[in-house]
Structure 1
Amino acid sequence: MIACATNSSCDAKRPARSKQRGAAAVEFAIAFPLFFLVLYAIVTFCMIFLVQHSLTAASADGARAALVYVNAQDTGTALSGRAQAACARALQGVTWLATAPTCTTVVSAQPSGCTNNTAMDCIQVTLSYPWSTKPLVPTLPMLGAWQPTVLAGRATVQIDPVNLL
């Protein structure tokens, strides 16, 4: 151990790392916002993709529900009954969302029918979630511009008119 008579002579013999005191805190203060921003972006995009996938899966489930037979007297009543059942089933698949998405159905009956097969009747189920007004992750200031305003899932089912009634 070296005994120093004055502080100035001891400073010359101290290791250089004592002069680096606080450098780690400064580096952390610079790096932390960048790491936090990356982590926030990952969590936000994961939530956006989760909601998007849930809406798509629920609308596909609703479209499959439109295939279930509905007892009706005419084609229009049968198609509207199937469309209502499709929306009801689709909304059951996204009950975990804080705000229920809106469900819309488009019924395309003959003779125009579906776009790829005009001889069939189609029911298209669309679920829309207003992400800009009800995000699941709080939006940081000035970072909401790159987030979507509305998330939507859409599915279409073709129904053979012979099997409709």
Structure 2
Amino acid sequence: MNSIAQRLPPASAASRRLQRGVAAIEFALIFSVLFLVLYGMATFGAVFYFQQAVSRAAEDGARAVSQLPASPGLSENDPRIVSAVRASLLEALVVPASETVTVDRRRSWIATNVTATIAVTEGTGARAVVTVTYKYSANRLLPKLPAFGWMPDELIGRAIAMRQT
């Protein structure tokens, strides 16, 4: 019985060189696709984490609203609520590494780059809407690739709390 290997002529040096070239092209194509998949997963994970941190900060602000006494009244952009939001973000990993040297630098970075607003409604069913806005486009974890503009410019977290009357 003849095996297949016995029936085929031996490969020449030229055909082996061509095969190496084909392997390099295949590697380049597969690597670029795998890199884009890995980059997409890392970018999505970073945006997802930042969004969760911003949403949690808004929830912590709403929780602070519900724990405040009915008097004195709650004002728009109350500093007690803004402080609760910033304290929540201080515990998260949203500040760039260059700004994490001291706690004071982290606080000032958050105060500069994160906006917390509180909208208050009065009367029956009084409530407060806490909105936290993080400028993600100014503080990206990974750089933006051309033709892949699916990352948001801002991340917004919003929470509503019923106020004590």
State whether TM-score is above 0.5: yes
Amino acid across the alignment from 2:137: S
Deviation at 1:159, TM superposition (A): 1.2
- The percent of aligned pairs where both chains have the same amino acid is 32
Say yes or no: does 1:157 pair with 2:161: yes
Amino acid across the alignment from 1:51: F
Amino acid across the alignment from 1:137: L
Q: Which residue of 2 aligns with 1:84?
A: 79
Q: Which residue of 1 aligns with 2:121?
A: 108
Deviation at 1:38, TM superposition (A): 0.9
Q: Which residue of 2 aligns with 1:121?
A: 126
Paired positions, count: 137
For structure 1, the 5+ residue unaligned runs are 1-11, 111-118
Deviation at 1:152, TM superposition (A): 0.3
- More divergent stretch after superposition (30-39 vs 80-89): 80-89
- TM-score, length of structure 1 as denominator length: 0.72
Deviation at 1:104, TM superposition (A): 0.7
CA RMSD, Structure 1 to Structure 2 (Å): 2.4
Say yes or no: does 1:94 pair with 2:89: yes
Look up the SS of the partner of 1:56 in the other structure: helix
Alignment of 1:2-151 (within 5 A): 13-14=10-11, 18-19=16-17, 20-70=19-69, 72=71, 77-80=72-75, 83-95=78-90, 96-98=93-95, 100=110, 101-110=114-123, 119-143=124-148, 145-151=149-155
- Give the Cα–Cα distance (whole angstroms) in 1 for the partners of residues 76 and 150 of structure 2: 39
- More divergent stretch after superposition (128-137 vs 46-55): 128-137
Deviations 1:117-156 (A, max 9, x none): xx1221111110112222122111232x211121100001
Deviation at 1:81, TM superposition (A): 8.8
Q: Would you say the 8 A contact 1:68–1:82 is kept in 2?
A: no
- TM-score, length of structure 2 as denominator length: 0.72
Higher relative contact order (CA 8 A, sep 6+): 2
| Greater gyration radius | 1
